[in-house]
Amino acid sequence: MDGFSRNLVWRRLEQAYAALAAQQPLPPAEFEPLRERFAHEQKYYRSASFDEDRRFFAALLKERPPQVTLSRKPPAATRKFHRSTTYLPGPTTQRCARPSPVQASRAHSWQRRRCFSAASWVATIS
């Protein structure tokens, strides 16, 4: 996830937390759902515009200058990737799964769980 996308996720989480704290419904998202975004990208990749753009940038970058670096060594290839999984403590997940007395509607409870899940995920990648 790049910095721009991360900020969009954090802003959406802030909106969700604010709505939950005020016991209000979640406001509509400011950006399109990922499913739609991916569909648009796939459509573009299969279009003549994509082929035209690819030819344009290949020609533009054909005679680019050498890469600027402060090192005298060539860039090293990545030898391994780091992947990790983090589990939340049992009491925390049980408390989040249990609806609070403040939550009157089932939809509100579902929003809370989704918000908590997203916040937990963001915390692991930050």
pLDDT digits (tens, 9 = 90+) for 6-42: 787 888 888 888 888 888 888 888 777 778 888 999 9
Q: Which residue has the higher pLDDT, 42 or 105?
A: 42
- What does the alpha-carbon distance between residue 19 and residue 9 come to, in Å, rounded to a whole number? 15
Record the pTM. Answer: 0.39
Cβ contacts of 101-110, under 8 Å, gap ≥ 24:
102/23, 107/25, 108/20, 108/23, 108/25
Domains in the chain: boundaries: 1-54+102-126
